[in-house]
């Protein structure tokens, strides 16, 4: 049997050799950048070493038996099959170890649950398959979509450094401040995780959950959705930028201003070209994952837009379905997810791209009116 084992190991080693050259051997949890994540890390290491110690003792006895008490060595078996003292002992000792382990775990947990006295409150809403961040006190919100190009995922292009872990609009938080997250979801259950913060919490439709973090080191931190939420579960990363407070304040001011600009954009006179350009971008982030970049869709769940009767003729129906969605299907209501400008741009794009050359255009004002007036 030894021979086989050796062969297997040799085979495995041979196969793995090329891999080790370019290896990235991150084997352990990161201690992270918050006090919570540091405490979790130390709990993790403590319990790990306790397990290793128990393992050494138990497997030590076992391997000793395996080597020394073999029939092939002529070892004669003993005949004992009970020993109350030993049995009581190995019930009590593990119990004591567990109690010792439970104490620091309890302290950490209590600290993690202390969401009081927060400086910034951010509402996080999970959608299939993007996150929405709402700065409650500052009255602005935005969506955060994965920005990794389809070509990288489909292996048509070299993969970037932050493959699958990059977004168009990261969450921005100030360092050194207690940030409280309020989580909910729009459709199915999602889970918001940033390993470096030691923060993971489920976002549940109809319910609100809270958690918090205080990041001391500025930087960009990446995580992912960790609750299976459908087709693109693997493609909804979380990116958080922790910045110094001044920078944060500047950013917040910019965001508020941008929201205002958005409102003004709605009033501007748009040309078909401008809308097409903007529409292409908006389509890529909001629509292409289902309807595909070339508009051919993935029938039957995601119908083609290219050459579709709706995109060519039924303008009212087209606006209606994009804004309000189609109940009972995968088509979501984008009315609250995209700005008026983006809605107009997307609809215009869909009516003019891929040979759908209707020449028709929908202005942000029309969308604005559609949403408000009826």
Partner 1 sequence: MANETTKNQPARRSNTRVIGWCLSGVVGMFAFGFALVPLYEVFCEITGINGKTGGRYEAGVTQQVDDNRTVRVQFLASNGPGMTWEFRPVVRSVDVHPGEVISVNFYAANGTDQAMVGQAVPSLSPSEGTQFFHKTECFCFNQQPLEAGESVEMPLIFIVDRDLPEHITKLTLSYTLYDQGKQAEVSRSAQTQTTTNNNG
Partner 2 sequence: MSAVADTHAQEHHHGPAKGISRWLLTTNHKDIGSMYLMFSFAMFLLGGSMAMVIRAELFQPGLQIVEPEFFNQMTTMHGLIMVFGAVMPAFVGLANWMLPLMIGAPDMALPRMNNWSFWLLPCAFLILVSTLFMQGGAPNFGWTFYAPLSTTYGPPSTTFFIFAVHIMGVSSIMGAINVIATILNMRAPGMTLMKMPLFVWTWLITAFLLIAVMPVLAGVVTMMLMDIHFGTSFFDASGGGDPVLFQHVFWFFGHPEVYIMILPAFGAISHIVAAFSRKPLFGYASMVYAVGAIAVLSFLVWAHHMFTVGMPIAGQLFFMYATLLIAVPTGVKVFNWVTTMFRGSLSFEAPMLFAVAFIILFTIGGFSGLMLAIAPADFQYHDTYFVVAHFHYVLVPGAIFGIFASAYFWLPKWTGHMYDETLAKTHFWLSFVGMNLAFFPMHFLGLAGMPRRIPDYALQFTDFNMISSIGAFMFGVTQLLFLFIVVKCARGGEKAAAKPWDGAEGLEWTVPSPAPYHTFSTPPEVK
The interface with partner 2 within residues 52-81 (CB under 8 A) comprises 54-55, 58-59, 61-62, 64-66, 69-72, 75-81
- The binder of 90, among partner 2, partner 1, none, by C-beta within 5 to 8 A per type, is partner 2
According to the binding rule CB under 8 A, does residue 325 interact with partner 1? yes
* Residues that contact partner 1, how many (by CB under 8 A): 34
According to the binding rule CB under 8 A, does residue 200 interact with partner 2? yes
Name the phi and psi angles at 262, rounded to 5.
-55, -45
By CB under 8 A, name the one of 33, 34, 40, 318 that touches partner 2.
40
Among 340, 326, 236, CA closest to 282: 340
- The binder of 271, among partner 2, partner 1, none, by C-beta within 5 to 8 A per type, is none
Name the phi and psi angles at 7, rounded to 5.
-60, -45
According to the binding rule CB under 8 A, does residue 87 interact with partner 2? yes
> Looking at beta carbons only, is 51 or 217 nearer to partner 2?
51
Report in angstroms how near the CB of residue 124 gets to partner 1 at its nearest. 11
By CB under 8 A, name the one of 119, 138, 168, 210 that touches partner 2.
210
By CB under 8 A, name the one of 32, 36, 39, 121 that touches partner 1.
121
Residues 6+ apart with CB under 8 A from 269: 363
Report in angstroms how near the CB of residue 201 gets to partner 1 at its nearest. 11
Please, is 139 exposed, middle or buried when counting C-beta atoms within 10 Å of its C-beta (0-12, 13-18, 19+)?
Answer: exposed
Write each residue from 101 to 120 as x if it is in contact with partner 2 (CB under 8 A), else as -, in one continuous string. Answer: xx--xx-xxx-xx-------
According to the binding rule CB under 8 A, does residue 336 interact with partner 1? yes
Q: By CB under 8 A, what part of segment 203-242 binds partner 1? A: 205-210
What number of other Cβ atoms are within 10 A of residue 123's Cβ?
A: 17
Dihedral of the CA atoms 133, 203, 223, 138 (nearest 10)? 20
By CB under 8 A, name the one of 116, 155, 271, 309 that touches partner 1.
116
Residue 164 Rama label (left phi>0; alpha psi -120 to 50; beta): left
Dihedral of the CA atoms 237, 242, 243, 245 (nearest 10)? 130
Q: Which two tokens stand for residue 191?
A: 């889970």
**Is the CB of residue 75 less than 8 Å from the CB of residue 69?**
yes
**Is the CB of residue 289 less than 8 Å from the CB of residue 232?**
yes
- The binder of 16, among partner 2, partner 1, none, by C-beta within 5 to 8 A per type, is partner 2
Report in angstroms how near the CB of residue 82 gets to partner 2 at its nearest. 6
Report in angstroms how near the CB of residue 144 gets to partner 2 at its nearest. 17
According to the binding rule CB under 8 A, does residue 49 interact with partner 2? no
Among 211, 209, 182, 183, CA closest to 197: 211
Residues 6+ apart with CB under 8 A from 297: 290, 291, 303, 304, 305, 306
According to the binding rule CB under 8 A, does residue 326 interact with partner 2? no
- Looking at residue 338, the DSSP 8-state letter turns out to be S
According to the binding rule CB under 8 A, does residue 271 interact with partner 1? no
DSSP reduced 3-state for 335: coil
Report in angstroms how near the CB of residue 200 gets to partner 1 at its nearest. 16
By CB under 8 A, name the one of 136, 228, 253, 258 that touches partner 2.
228
d(CA 368, CA 374): 11
Q: By CB under 8 A, what part of segment 239-298 binds partner 2? A: none
Instruction: Return the range that interacts with partner 1 (CB under 8 A); candidates 9-17, 21-29, 153-161, 318-326.
Output: 318-326
d(CA 260, CA 254): 10
What number of other Cβ atoms are within 10 A of residue 79's Cβ?
A: 5
Among 203, 205, 209, CA closest to 113: 209
By CB under 8 A, name the one of 35, 38, 152, 324 that touches partner 1.
324
List residues binding partner 1 (CB under 8 A).
Answer: 113-118, 121, 123, 125, 136-137, 139, 182, 184, 186-187, 205-210, 323-325, 327, 332-333, 335-336, 371-374
């Amino acid at each position: 049997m030894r021979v086989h084992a050796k062969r297997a190991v040799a085979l495995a080693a041979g196969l793995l050799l090329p891999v080790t050259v370019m290896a990235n051997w991150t084997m352990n949890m990161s201690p992270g950048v918050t006090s919570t994540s540091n405490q979790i890390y130390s709990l993790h290491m403590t319990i790990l070493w306790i397990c290793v110690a128990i393992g050494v003792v138990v497997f030590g006895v076992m391997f000793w038996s395996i080597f020394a008490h073999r029939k092939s060595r002529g070892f004669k078996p003993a005949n004992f099959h009970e020993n109350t003292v030993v049995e009581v002992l190995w019930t009590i000792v593990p119990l004591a170890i567990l109690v010792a382990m439970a104490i620091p775990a309890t302290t950490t947990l209590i600290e993690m649950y202390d969401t009081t006295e927060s400086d910034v409150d951010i509402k996080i809403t999970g959608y299939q398959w993007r996150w929405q961040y709402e700065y409650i006190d500052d009255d602005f919100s935005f969506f955060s979509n994965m920005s990794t190009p389809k070509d990288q995922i489909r292996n048509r292009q070299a993969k970037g450094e932050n493959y699958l872990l990059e977004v168009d609009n990261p969450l921005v938080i100030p360092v050194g401040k207690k940030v409280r997250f309020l989580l909910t979801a729009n459709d199915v259950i999602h889970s918001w995780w940033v390993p470096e913060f030691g923060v993971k919490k489920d976002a549940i439709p109809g319910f609100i959950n809270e958690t918090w973090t205080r990041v001391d080191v500025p930087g960009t931190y990446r995580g992912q959705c960790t609750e299976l939420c459908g087709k693109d579960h693997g493609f909804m990363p979380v990116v958080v930028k922790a910045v110094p407070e001044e920078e944060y304040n500047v950013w917040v001011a910019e965001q508020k201003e941008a929201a205002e600009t958005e409102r003004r954009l709605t009033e501007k006179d748009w040309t078909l070209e401008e809308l097409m350009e903007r529409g292409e971008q908006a389509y890529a982030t909001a629509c292409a994952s289902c309807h595909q970049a070339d508009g051919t869709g993935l029938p039957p769940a995601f119908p083609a837009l290219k050459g579709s009767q709706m995109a060519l003729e039924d303008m009212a129906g087209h606006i209606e379905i994009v804004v309000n969605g189609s109940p009972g299907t995968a088509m979501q209501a984008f009315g609250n997810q995209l700005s008026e400008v983006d809605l107009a741009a997307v609809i215009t794009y869909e009516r003019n791209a891929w040979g759908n050359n209707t020449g028709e255009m929908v202005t942000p004002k029309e969308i604005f009116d559609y949403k408000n007036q009826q």
